[in-house]
């Protein structure tokens, strides 16, 4: 038996023994994913058991090095683990910004000490992180951020405000962009620091969105201490780290462009019926749906092509710059088509007959996809300038 085959057998029997039955059902959505933290939100006691068992093997972050709490798996082993988990429909044991955003940045830019301090706690789900980027006057123009960090010897004193901080009210720590220097260009003088959200002077206030609720908060800093041991990279050079992290965020958001399980065309057929030739009864809607489904197929082909090119060592080509823009625009189109295809059913806001208004709330929430993580217009600016080489105004 080959090493990989042996790994598969062992993985299979370990999962069989250790994955609780309740964790072998698909999660209902974002809300019942397990995010860890000092005071984890637990819908089911098995969530924590499952996370702890996986973390003990390093499998909450199977591709991270072992010394930082990861599983140290190579590409083939990782693939096997994912296949075996999928085979029993095992849930992801832990989903967090620590894993998807801060972790990759720390692995790239952190000191050995910082990695050893923070990564294992992320891997074990002990600390939940939030991202302090946007400010009331620094949205698309993120680099004009003004939250001030004053040098006080072994620490910075932080004053200012962040906005659109996802889960700030639930997070334990924050990775935050602050201004340590005002004298140079706006991209210089930005630093990337980590600090505890339980520190004196931190307050958060949730923001209610047009979709009814939201993970977003306003976050205020009033003389908050951030220790210099938690400055990532050099002082004033945080913009490079911020950008690196944003590419991870954009990849995550562009996943929204994937095709839904039941096609919009099928859904419309069920609600509106077809004509004698089998075509959807309303020809206008049929065309719009066909255009959407075509673009979804073609977008999927592009994701596959860029993935194959990267595997072939050609790096992420220019095509990857379109992912965030195109993926989020597609998701907005899909949500509009849900309304068009389902009619009254999709307009429900509350009540069991509308499944709590899930369709209308998703539709409203999707409007934010092309704003957060860099608006569509910012993405188009990036393509025009960096890819096409068109000059600044």
Partner 1 sequence: MALVLNEEQAMLKEAAAGFLAEKASIKQLRELRDSGSEQGFSSDVWGEMAQMGWAGIAIAEEFGGLGYGYTGLGLVLEQAGRNLSASPLQSTVLVAATLIAELGSQEQKQKLLPAIAAGELLATLALQEGGHHAPLQTAASAVRDGDGFVINGGKLMVLDATSAATFIVIARSGGTAGDEQGLSAFLVDAGADGLKVEQRSLVDSRNVGALILDNVRVSSANLLGAEGQAWPGLSRTLDIANIGLAAELLGLSAEAFERTVAYLKERKQFGRVIGSFQGLQHRAAELFAELELGRSIVLQALHAVDDGQADLALMASAAKAKLCEVAQRASNEAIQMHGGIGMTDEYDIGFFIKRARVAQHTFGDYNYHLDRFAQLNGF
167: left (phi over 0), alpha (psi -120 to 50) or beta: left
Report how far residue 126's alpha carbon sits from residue 267's, in angstroms, rounded to the nearest whole number: 42
Q: Does 304 bind partner 1 (CB under 8 A)?
A: yes
| Contact present, 97 and 64 (Cβ < 8 Å) | no
Provide the 3-class DSSP secondary structure of residue 220.
strand
Residue 96 or 288 with smaller CB distance to partner 1? 288
**Contact mark string toward partner 1, 92..111, x via CB under 8 A:** --------------------
* Helix/strand number for the chain, H first, E second: 13, 8
Q: Minimum distance between the CB of residue 302 and partner 1, rounded to whole angstroms?
A: 4
Judged by CB under 8 A, the residue of 210, 347, 358, 387 near partner 1 is 387
Q: Does 315 bind partner 1 (CB under 8 A)?
A: no
Report how far residue 326's alpha carbon sits from residue 252's, in angstroms, rounded to the nearest whole number: 13
Q: How many residues bind partner 1 (CB under 8 A)?
A: 48
| Contact present, 287 and 140 (Cβ < 8 Å) | no
| Contact present, 158 and 132 (Cβ < 8 Å) | no
Judged by CB under 8 A, the residue of 42, 87, 318, 358 near partner 1 is 318
Q: Minimum distance between the CB of residue 373 and partner 1, rounded to whole angstroms?
A: 17
| Contact present, 81 and 11 (Cβ < 8 Å) | yes
Q: Minimum distance between the CB of residue 82 and partner 1, rounded to whole angstroms?
A: 19
- C-beta neighbour count of 293 within 10 angstroms: 16
Quote the radius of gyration of the chain (alpha carbons, Å). Answer: 23
Report how far residue 163's alpha carbon sits from residue 218's, in angstroms, rounded to the nearest whole number: 4
Q: Does 298 bind partner 1 (CB under 8 A)?
A: yes
Residue 66 or 386 with smaller CB distance to partner 1? 386
Judged by CB under 8 A, the residue of 145, 253, 268, 342 near partner 1 is 268
Q: Does 42 bind partner 1 (CB under 8 A)?
A: no
- What the block records as the tokens of 137 is 């006057």
Which residue stretch of 178-186, 200-208, 237-245, 292-300 sits at the interface with partner 1 (rule: CB under 8 A)?
A: 292-300
Name the DSSP letter for residue 100: I
Catalytic residue among 77, 135, 249, 329: 249
> Is 113 marked active-site?
no
Q: Minimum distance between the CB of residue 272 and partner 1, rounded to whole angstroms?
A: 10
Which residue stretch of 25-33, 194-202, 304-312, 356-364 sits at the interface with partner 1 (rule: CB under 8 A)?
A: 304-312
- What the block records as the tokens of 17 is 């023994």
Residue 1 or 276 with smaller CB distance to partner 1? 276
Q: Does 87 bind partner 1 (CB under 8 A)?
A: no
Residues numbered 323-342 forming contacts with partner 1, rule: CB under 8 A: 325-326
Which residue stretch of 46-54, 167-175, 218-226, 276-284 sits at the interface with partner 1 (rule: CB under 8 A)?
A: 276-284
DSSP string for residues in 132-156: E--BTTBSSSGGG---EEEE-SSEE
- List phi, psi (to 5°) of 223: 55, 55
Judged by CB under 8 A, the residue of 87, 210, 347, 390 near partner 1 is 390
Report how far residue 32's alpha carbon sits from residue 99's, in angstroms, rounded to the nearest whole number: 17
Report how far residue 42's alpha carbon sits from residue 243's, in angstroms, rounded to the nearest whole number: 33
Unique residue bearing structure tokens 């994955």: 19
| Contact present, 374 and 143 (Cβ < 8 Å) | no
Provide the 3-class DSSP secondary structure of residue 346.
helix
Judged by CB under 8 A, the residue of 6, 108, 223, 274 near partner 1 is 274
Q: Does 13 bind partner 1 (CB under 8 A)?
A: no
Residue 163 or 289 with smaller CB distance to partner 1? 289
Which residue stretch of 131-139, 184-192, 220-228, 281-289 sits at the interface with partner 1 (rule: CB under 8 A)?
A: 281-289
Q: Does 240 bind partner 1 (CB under 8 A)?
A: no
Residue 116 or 290 with smaller CB distance to partner 1? 290
Unique residue bearing structure tokens 């860890």: 36
Q: Does 251 bind partner 1 (CB under 8 A)?
A: no
Residues identified as active-site: 249
* Residues forming the site for partner 1 (CB under 8 A): 263, 265-266, 268-269, 274, 278-280, 286-287, 289-291, 293-295, 297-299, 301-302, 304-305, 308-309, 311-312, 314, 318-319, 322, 325-326, 377, 379-381, 383-385, 387-393
């Amino acid at each position: 038996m080959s090493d990989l085959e042996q790994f598969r057998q062992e993985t299979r029997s370990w999962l069989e023994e250790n994955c609780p039955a309740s964790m072998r059902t698909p999660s209902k959505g974002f809300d019942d994913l397990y995010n860890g933290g000092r005071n984890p939100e637990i819908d089911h006691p098995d969530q924590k058991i499952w996370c702890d068992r996986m973390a003990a093997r390093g499998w909450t972050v199977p591709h991270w090095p072992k010394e930082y709490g990861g599983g140290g798996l190579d590409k083939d082993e990782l693939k096997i683990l994912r296949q075996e988990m999928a085979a029993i429909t095992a849930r992801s044991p832990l989903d967090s910004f620590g894993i998807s955003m801060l972790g990759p940045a720390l692995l790239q830019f952190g000191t050995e000490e910082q990695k050893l301090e923070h990564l294992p706690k992320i891997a074990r789900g002990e600390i939940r992180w939030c991202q302090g980027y946007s400010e009331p006057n620094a949205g698309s123009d993120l680099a004009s951020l003004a939250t001030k960090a004053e040098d006080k010897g072994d620490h910075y004193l932080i004053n200012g405000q962040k906005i659109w901080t996802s889960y700030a009210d639930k997070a334990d720590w924050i990775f935050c962009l602050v201004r340590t220097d005002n004298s140079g260009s706006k991209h210089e003088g930005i630093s990337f620091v980590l600090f505890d959200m339980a520190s004196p002077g931190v307050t958060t206030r949730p923001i209610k969105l047009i979709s009814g609720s939201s993970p977003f908060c306003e976050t205020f800093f009033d003389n908050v201490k951030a220790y210099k041991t938690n400055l990532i990279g050099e002082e004033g050079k945080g913009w490079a780290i911020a950008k690196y992290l944003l590419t991870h965020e954009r990849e995550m958001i562009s996943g929204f462009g994937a095709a839904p399980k039941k096609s919009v065309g099928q859904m419309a057929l069920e609600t509106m019926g077809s004509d004698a030739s089998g075509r959807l009864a309303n020809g206008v809607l049929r065309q719009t749906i066909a255009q959407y489904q075509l673009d979804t197929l073609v977008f999927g082909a592009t994701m596959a092509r860029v993935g194959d090119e990267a595997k072939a060592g050609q790096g992420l080509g220019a095509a990857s710059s379109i992912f965030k823009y195109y993926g989020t625009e597609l998701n907005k189109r899909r949500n509009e088509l849900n309304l068009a295809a389902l009619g009254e059913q999709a307009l429900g806001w509350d009540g069991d007959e509308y499944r709590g208004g899930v369709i209308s709330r998703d539709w409203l929430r999707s409007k934010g996809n092309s704003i957060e993580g860099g608006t569509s217009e910012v993405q188009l600016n990036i393509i025009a300038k960096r890819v096409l080489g068109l000059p600044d105004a």
